[in-house]
Structure 1
Amino acid sequence: MPADYDYDLFTIGAGSGGVRASRVAAAHGAKVAVAEEYRVGGTCVIRGCVPKKMLVYGAHFAEDLEDARKFGWTLGECRFDWKALRDNVLADVDRLNGAYTDTLQNHGVEIFHERARITGEHEITLAGGRTVTARYILVATGATPHVPECPGSELGITSNEAFHLDDVPRRVLIAGGGYIANEFAGIFNQFGAHVTIVNRSDLILRQYDESLRDRLLKISVTKGIDFRFHAEFRGIEKTDDGALRVAMTGYDDIEVDCVLFATGRVPNTGGLGLESIGVELGDKGEVKVDRFSRTNRDHVYAVGDCTDRVQLTPVAIREGQAFADTVFGNNPTTVDYDAIPSAVFSHPPMAGVGMTEGEARNKLGTVKVYQSDFRPMKHVLAGRNERSLYKMICDGDNDRIVGLHMIGPEAPEIMQAAAIAVKAGLTKADFDATVALHPTMAEELVLMR
């Protein structure tokens, strides 16, 4: 690389995509620096999927401890301590922050713990006033929670603050119908809160198969979660006793102790100076990139949730790897976005890969649908009526599996292996020819009719 730049690569944002890109670029011999205004690790590690999954584990004990009696265990009085769980989770976040920092430093990446802004063609200015130059700039700033505009919206919180609450609120209103809303609904419900989900439409988790969405809704209602559909916020105000009174369209006012906004995430690109050098942005501030993660400016790239692609941590990691291999490894690499598995760690969890039944019918015309609707063995002995549903969507012309969708215990764990089959283009006959692993829930994948 020419010596007239301070760095070969300057990465703005040390989340999953930025860390992977910076580490791999450095391993290819580049001189790399990263600026991170908060903590190394990004949304997933610091305030997203990792700490949230730990809360999900904690929430599952509520039913597991109850079920344990049917399995012969004699238990004394059980008491849940939110502060103990919260502090243990945050301590592990500290550990992960340190691990990600060590990874960068061990590869010779210089870390600036401050905000950075693009102030020239190859120029970055740090919050402390220092200006540096880089041959390539990578934007990996992720996304940030969207908060709807309404009077009193500042009285609510987002998923960022949910991990730091002093106590589990007695009454929680969650705005939104996506994965964050349904995951935190399950968590708080199991911790003893009364949860109300408020959504503008009558759909939850619209990107998932309709059968699974309906099953989760029914189970959630059975567990005591309330839903208010076709409702929009009119305002939030604090009452004299410290509660929050929420007004919305179509329903009476409701008093709660916490309002959690889970109404989507928007690219975190404001104030980065991208417009000043002509980088093209979308209507929501997303950085527009080509298949090599390059913007309309040849020396500026972007990966992860700040772009107009898929907002998933493993995708950001692959984009970061592909960018570094392309630009610094002399190995042009793109990411294949077909058949990406995803999961919702609701209660119970959902997972899916490929096309839903509706998508397949619209795209392929003729489809074959196989499913298994069953009660897991553990639920049978525990006396729970909660049923799981596995669903396989096949191309009607050649029996190729184009979608797999599951709701039930450990569905995401099972889906990871099943997704390989969908990605590989296997057929229903390939599943039928596989001997069942008995007794498991996963065996239902090869027993569907």
Structure 2
Amino acid sequence: MASSSSFHSFSKMSLILPLCLFLLLLLISPSQGAKNTNCNGPDDEGSTLQVFHIYSKCSPFKPSKPMSWEDSVLQMQSNDQSRVLYLSSLVAGKSVVPIASGRQITQSPTYIVRVKIGTPGQTLLMAMDTSNDAAWIPCNGCVGCPASTTVFDSAKSTSFQNVGCGVAGCQQVPNPSCLANTCSFNMTYGGSSIAANLSIDTFRLAADPIPSYTFGCLQKATGNSVPPQGLLGLGRGPMSLLSQSQSLYQSTFSYCLPSFKGLNFTGSLRLGPTGQPKNIKTTPLLKNPRRSSLYYVNLVGIKVGKKVVDIPAEALAFNPTTGAGTIIDSGTVFTRLVQAAYVPVRDEFRRRMGNATVSSLGGFDTCYNVPVTVPTITFMFSGMNVTLPQDNFLIHSTAGTITCLAMAEAPVGNVNSVLNVIANLQQQNHRILIDVPNSRLGVAREACS
């Protein structure tokens, strides 16, 4: 018998999106503002880190110039599509590298955590991403990094080392080279190119030190696509946090993401099996050899209201040969479904809206200029149903004149597998548990914001 769980909100977007993106999408009430987090505390404790929205008042990465609501949505949807194409290329075996690729970095997540790196520790804000493996940070002397970037000064750390050219991991990075016996790599992406060293140092997450952590140390960047903060990979590949801290955290973590409606609030990233929720609804985690880092789950159906939508089984099927299937991703903003799944879901949604005139906004093809009253949408997983309230699948303009179904068809690139991506709008204000040893993903209600 499947169990039920409702989700409240979701988020993931590219670092270049403006602050007003969510300020305009969702109004913040005065009562919410009264609960502002003190950005200087409390400190991270034990094995739990605070999670900040990248454009919250506690983040230094807030853009200075806002955009109109419509332009913001169009840009967000466009960048989100690039990320989904990237994820699809990964599962097709087109770009399997342990260090985050440029496109991967550009499409970084919406949430950041504080990490201390080196001895003594230097505090950096790093984006958390469940679909990436490697840690990456801008380092001292980086030529071309954004002026606002806080860099890691390796010269001030007594535990810092560059990785030598003879180390096996050096051959896994893209375009490896050897300079003064230091493993380096180069790559291009979008309008930018980067050069970085493979390095090791102590990472301190909350109260937990992790010595000899391997990461990419950015030395040079050209173009305007380089984000100001680093990246903390929470995937399950060989260079991820889970792999490099396996003895400490036993490949288990959970996170609770704050809502877009409360940009001043913080969620949490809880590392290790201690303190995880006991009573939690779960679905099996699947591992796909085409991209073993990603967190696959078995999506078996979708309901609109009480109606189970007629979706061909192959549109949702897990396929370890091609890499097709459904992943849970903390870095994509809008849920993407393959065409054979999205179209019937969209059509049933429209049918429930009756004769209301349908319009479009960029990649969103189901928008309305009238008040909308719609049923819930339910994702049906093996062993667990996830019922979404309206805040999880609708976006509204500030004036309330436009409402869009915040899902879209998955883009099809030059790959032989297309992913269904359950994005993080559905994850806000719930505790999402990743338990690799027991091959399960769990969901429990929790007020993160």
TM over 0.5, yes or no?
A: no
Which has the larger share of strand?
2
- Larger RCO (alpha carbons 8 Å, 6+ apart): 2
Q: Which has the larger radius of gyration?
A: 1
Q: Bin the TM-score by the shorter chain.
A: under 0.3
